[in-house]
Amino acid sequence: MKTVGEVGERALVAMFTTAAASGGDTDDLVIGSGDDAAVFAPTGPVVVSTDTAVAGRHFRFDWSTPRQIGARAVVQSAADIAAMGGVLTGVVVSIGCPPQTPVERVLELNAGIVDQTHRYRARVLGGDLVSSSEVVLTVTSLGVLDGTQAVALSGARGGEVLALSGPLGGPAGGLAALSAVEHGADPLLLEQFSDLVEAYRLPRPDLGQGRVAALAGARAMTDVSDGLVEEIITMAEASQVRIDIDSASVPQVRGLAELGAALGVDPARWALAGGEEHELLAAFDPSAVPAGWTVIGTVSDGEPDARIDGAAVGEIRGWQSFTET
């Protein structure tokens, strides 16, 4: 099998450009992938965010397929667009990899990026391919606000409620299962809890809920990329409010309790302090919570503070396992 170094940057970029050209909504496209830059004519204010994933730190090739890793990088970046109430329209991608990387691996990473982008009805607008000593993926997502206001982190006010777009704990549970098996647990665990493992490999939040929340008048929003506890701290500080979460009301994905029992871990740990889920967390007027969202707490005026079941989050915050230095 050929390596990236043997095939060369030009030939690979040509393959990427071909892969990017098919699919996706191209209504607003002026110039696509393959030129110095892409050009598009947005239909509203533009939302932009960037996210980098590094092999061995954010993903492992022995735990996920290259296609899942590529797709996940898009989900993580696109979630930031949804968290503003935006709709993803395009991504630009940078892939760094060692010259000795098999071409097949890079093509699969790219296929995952392209597939997931097209699943969101968006386009791959361009990218860069460079030599690096480890695989590094940077996905920059672009979206538009389609008739809604941008939903910042700072808009939560006393009297509102906090709600979640979906259940938590899947990615953290799946990672815990993979880690347990690596450290000697029965590999059957991965089959028994395959839904959780798949949620780790490729989280599937309904990012369309970002626009739904914005249309419903969400006052503040973020995605749960750093774990719920971190996110409520961030929102409380940005909005200068107190946030109280009722841990019993935080929805957990199916199977989490059973995995917790199997591994001897409180599953609330995964739901409260796990990260890289990308479900959306938003503050609403109590009467404005969209269907399908779960109210998990309240916003009140006062000193910026985040509490779970009335207690300070300091201890729980210490649980988090994904924070990088």
C-alpha–C-alpha distance, residues 28 and 7, integer Å? 33
C-alpha–C-alpha distance, residues 145 and 131, integer Å? 35
The string of DSSP letters for 71-139 reads HHHHHHHHHHHHTTT-EEEEEEEEEEE-TTSBHHHHHHHHHHHHHHHHHTT-EEEEEEEEE-SS-EEEE
Question: How near is the Cβ of 79 to a second copy at its closest, in Å?
Answer: 8
Question: How near is the Cβ of 208 to a second copy at its closest, in Å?
Answer: 16
CA–CA–CA angle 263, 195, 294 (5° rounding): 95
- Site for a second copy contains 107 (CB under 8 A): no
CB 25 within 8 A of CB 119: no
- Site for a second copy contains 223 (CB under 8 A): yes
Q: Which of 110, 141, 165, 209 binds a second copy (CB under 8 A)?
A: 141
- Site for a second copy contains 18 (CB under 8 A): no
CB 189 within 8 A of CB 177: yes
Residues 72-91 that bind a second copy (CB under 8 A): 79-81, 83-84, 86, 90
* Sheet-wide strand order for 161-164: 220-223, 280-284, 161-164, 294-300, 242-245, 305-308, 311-312
Binding range to a second copy, per CB under 8 A, among 27-35, 63-71, 162-170, 261-269: 27-35
Beta bridge partners of 92: 126, 140
C-alpha–C-alpha distance, residues 31 and 23, integer Å? 15
- Site for a second copy contains 14 (CB under 8 A): no
Q: Which of 112, 126, 169, 267 binds a second copy (CB under 8 A)?
A: 126
Q: Which of 24, 96, 173, 205 binds a second copy (CB under 8 A)?
A: 96
Gyration radius (Cα) of the chain, Å: 20
Question: How near is the Cβ of 28 to a second copy at its closest, in Å?
Answer: 9
**Element (H or E) spanning 179, and its range?**
helix 170-182
- Site for a second copy contains 15 (CB under 8 A): no
Q: Which is nearer to a second copy, 196 or 235 (CB)?
A: 235
- Site for a second copy contains 147 (CB under 8 A): no
- Site for a second copy contains 258 (CB under 8 A): no
- Site for a second copy contains 320 (CB under 8 A): no
**Element (H or E) spanning 201, and its range?**
helix 194-201
- Site for a second copy contains 24 (CB under 8 A): no
- Site for a second copy contains 70 (CB under 8 A): no
Site string for a second copy, 274-303 (x = CB under 8 A): ------------------------------
CB 109 within 8 A of CB 115: no
Question: How near is the Cβ of 17 to a second copy at its closest, in Å?
Answer: 11
- Site for a second copy contains 37 (CB under 8 A): yes
3-state secondary structure of 257: helix
Q: Site residues (CB under 8 A) for a second copy?
A: 4-6, 8-9, 30-31, 35-42, 45-54, 57-58, 79-81, 83-84, 86, 90, 92-94, 96, 99, 125-134, 136, 138, 140-143, 145, 150, 152-154, 221-223, 238, 323-325
Q: Which residues are annotated as a binding site for substrate?
A: 58, 276, 319
